Structure 1
Amino acid sequence: MPVALGIGGTGGGGAESKDCGTAVREKDAKAVEALYHVMASIENKLGGGEGVVGVYGSITRTGIQAVVQCLVETCGMDEYSRLVDIGAGLGRPLMHAIVHPGVRSSWGVEVDIIKWEKAQVFIQQTIATLQKRGLLTKDVAVPTVDCMPVEQVTSLEPHTHGYSFWEGIPLEGKRAFGRLFAQAATMRAIAVVQRSFRRRDPAHEMRKLAFGPVRLMGSFPVKMSGSGRGFTAYVFHKNAYTQPLRHVAPPPAETKREGRIFAYQPPVIRMLRARKAKGGASACDDANAAHGRRVQKEASQEGGDGGGA
């Protein structure tokens, strides 16, 4: 079913209407369907994706496909792109993007150490199963998820597109993401899922969160798996972005993992992992407690910042 999107303009009202469909090539559609069957099976074996921080659950396959397709059709996400997910959970959108449209790499940041530990097993087992079935090649760039607050990330480069289901992420974290997005020369678009902005201008609200000048390319309803709880997905394009994706330089070196599987690790992640290997403090040692305190403080002061549900 096509999803109606508001295209053009800076806000949500009065924009030109355009259908941003969820249809993909037959081969890709079969791979996406297989991916979600595999992910459901492995998640059940892990006891679900629940952690101790943030909102538990994920949006439906239809919802994620609508977000991905909108990024493809309006923001140029393709096989040259690199996706970053803030609040990655188990990493479903990261793996979806690897299967379709087949991005070059995908990386996530997750503050919840329980979700992060599950994601390590979840991603590796899902990728291995799809490779065994011949749906992914052996040299696919395996998605990586690292445990840290977004405030500790130093750069989003060389990534080109961003995603976040950020209900439960405090304002401080959203602003940190916004600053990183605005500063990264390679970043061209961002999709966020949250409660509706209602009568507020979405592009203006993103600018207040430090994302800089952006253009709303589409907004549409999505639902949570299981509960059916409704949210709104917003897709934005960075106004200042002009660099063709095909000319984005690849990282200087790929990091080899388990035979022929490769996955790029941003420099900050290599630094933190090296420090932990030498007996230093883990990036997640106190992140969950601090994150929880920030969420509780903001909830008591503002009753949430994402608009009424």
Structure 2
Amino acid sequence: MYSLQNQLGGGEGTVGIYGTVTTTGVAAILVALRGIPTGHVDIPSCLTDIGSGLGCPLLLAIDFDEAFGIEIDPAKCLKAKAFIPRCYKELTARNLINYRREKIRPTVCADVQNILKLPFCTHVYSFWEGFNEENKRDVGKLLRRSPYVVGIAIVQRACREPDVPAFFLRNFKEATLKDLYSLIFSTRGNALKIFTHERNSPKWLNMAPPLECRSGGKNIYDRYKIYTLEDIFKLIDFVLKNNYVQFGGVLYLQLLGIAMGGNASVFIANHFLFSYEYRFFEQLVSAICLDPSTQPISTLPIPAPLNADIFYPRGAVARFLLQTFIWLFRYIDDIGSLNNPYLEQLLYTNRSYFGFEGIYPPVLDITLTPHSSSLKYLDIEIGSRYQNNKTPLHSTFYNNKFSEPAFAHLPIIRYPHTTSNLSSHCKRNILPSRFIALSQNLTSRSSFIAAMAAVITLNSLLESGRRHFKEISKTKQLFIRSPA
């Protein structure tokens, strides 16, 4: 295919960028995508390649009953019109397929913004390395109008979290995301995300290439292992029930909670909390869609009055709460909220406020610590410059050991020892990562300088075994490149 592609001047066009994915990677992605059932035996599988270019994925979609491409670039459409028939003739000459019996996959030259819906499409493949945000929104709107889509594969050369999940949260309202953090890599580093509709109860798929072929066989798909949703549940259940810690030469089994040092612990806890947060925001968005009231609301009474729906339209209340809870943020188990007096009313699922259910399950013991003029969150302190709640927020460095006298004498080591079992890559990049994190989160220049000095001083680097300051030179270029 590549020689025929070169005869046509390559895969470049006049719109977007030209990106390639290996034939092996595309074939494996399409096999995994085809594994999502259409939901009914009478519904044939139909693949739509959005941004199809010359149509290489269409040639590999042999497991689908139908397949066609959508491409906005006229130059690529003309190339595809010649490229696909030539490929079929070449394959026929090699006795690989029968040209007369194979159906040539057409490519539609159109902008997805101008397509009403995909009435027969069941699966979508899209390599959107060159898509801008507007293009992605148009794709999301098109998929919302397509009733039979059950599986979507978004492919790009590099994973950029949380680009794809955030996009689908905004624009693919009918779909329930089975797993926002599902990243599937091929041996070439290509990324694949598969999202499915809940109404057809599809399987959640994941491909993880092992170091060697699973069967040592000749089939290119033997390098990939496919996990179902049930497999993932079994793996998570095993991790939760087999947490051991060694103390005094004795192994102890942890019976409650998640082991803090486990590789999967942070992700499991994050998924658990996110599932409740997603449901909370989903009910607000659904209320706005059902009742698009534009009545402005400046405040809501606490507690909610009786017959509140008479005086406060549900859609207007949902819009007000959504705007207020935008300033609710969480890092694993640390939750912060700015100027939100309604958080206590909606903290737990067994509470309701104006008919909306709260966020977290009551089994969680969440302690609310109110702050008057500033909020200490992780390593920063957020406050209003003049404490009148009307000026821009500012942030400064905060650390218990340096900011609180009561903790100054404690031997707190915030960075891993050089002999720890962390990878050398992680340990070498502590200084650059702290530089980037602090420079992006601190608005005070003097506070940033003090924070970086605290990282480099004896209380941090030398206490953790870093007696050589080669790491400091790595941040030199960061200081040079960073704007003043």
Tell me, yes or no, whether TM beats 0.5.
Answer: yes
1:89–1:115 CA contact under 8 A, matched in 2: yes
Q: Which residue of 2 aligns with 1:120?
A: 81
**What is the percentage of aligned positions where both structures have the same residue?**
33
Distance 1:45 1:201, change over 3 A: closer
Structure-2 separation of matches of 1:196 and 1:216: 18
1:108–1:144 CA contact under 8 A, matched in 2: yes
Of 213, 216, 219, which aligns to 2:183? 219
Structure-1 separation of matches of 2:37 and 2:92: 27
- The offset of 1:221, in angstroms, is 2.5
For the residue of structure 2 that corresponds to 1:214, the secondary structure is: coil
Once the two structures are superposed, residues 132-157 of structure 1 have per-residue CA deviations (whole angstroms, 9 ceiling, x without a partner) of 43333323221111211111112112
Q: Which residue of 1 aligns with 2:3?
A: 41
Structure-1 separation of matches of 2:164 and 2:16: 22
Q: Which residue of 2 aligns with 1:157?
A: 119
1:208 aligns with 2:170: yes
2:113–2:142 CA contact under 8 A, matched in 1: no
Structure-2 separation of matches of 1:216 and 1:110: 29
Q: How does 1:79-90 map to 2 (within 5 A)?
A: 80-90=44-54
Q: Which residue of 2 aligns with 1:91?
A: 55
- The offset of 1:242, in angstroms, is 5.9
Once the two structures are superposed, residues 183-215 of structure 1 have per-residue CA deviations (whole angstroms, 9 ceiling, x without a partner) of 2222111100134243x3954541213363233
Of 128, 142, 149, which aligns to 1:187? 149
User: Which consecutive unaligned segments of at least 5 residues does structure 2 have?
Assistant: 203-484
Max Rg structure: 2
Structure-1 separation of matches of 2:160 and 2:200: 25
- The offset of 1:175, in angstroms, is 1.7
Residue identity in the other structure for 1:150: V
Residue identity in the other structure for 1:235: I
- The offset of 1:89, in angstroms, is 0.5
Q: Which residue of 2 aligns with 1:166?
A: 128
- The offset of 1:48, in angstroms, is 1.1
Residue identity in the other structure for 1:76: P
1:90–1:118 CA contact under 8 A, matched in 2: yes
Structure-1 separation of matches of 2:21 and 2:126: 11
1:235 aligns with 2:194: yes
Runs of 4+ in 1 over 6 A off after TM superposition: none
1:85–1:109 CA contact under 8 A, matched in 2: yes
Bigger RCO of structures 1 and 2 (CA < 8 A, at least 6 apart): 1
Structure-2 separation of matches of 1:57 and 1:128: 25
Q: Which residue of 2 aligns with 1:14?
A: none
Structure-2 separation of matches of 1:146 and 1:157: 15
User: Which consecutive unaligned segments of at least 5 residues does structure 1 have?
Assistant: 1-38, 244-309
How many residue pairs match? The answer is 195
For the residue of structure 1 that corresponds to 2:31, the secondary structure is: helix
For the residue of structure 1 that corresponds to 2:61, the secondary structure is: helix
Structure-1 separation of matches of 2:163 and 2:114: 29
Q: Which has the higher strand share?
A: 1
Q: Which residue of 1 aligns with 2:103?
A: 141
The TM-score with structure 1 as length reference comes to 0.57
Structure-2 separation of matches of 1:142 and 1:93: 13
Structure-2 separation of matches of 1:81 and 1:212: 20
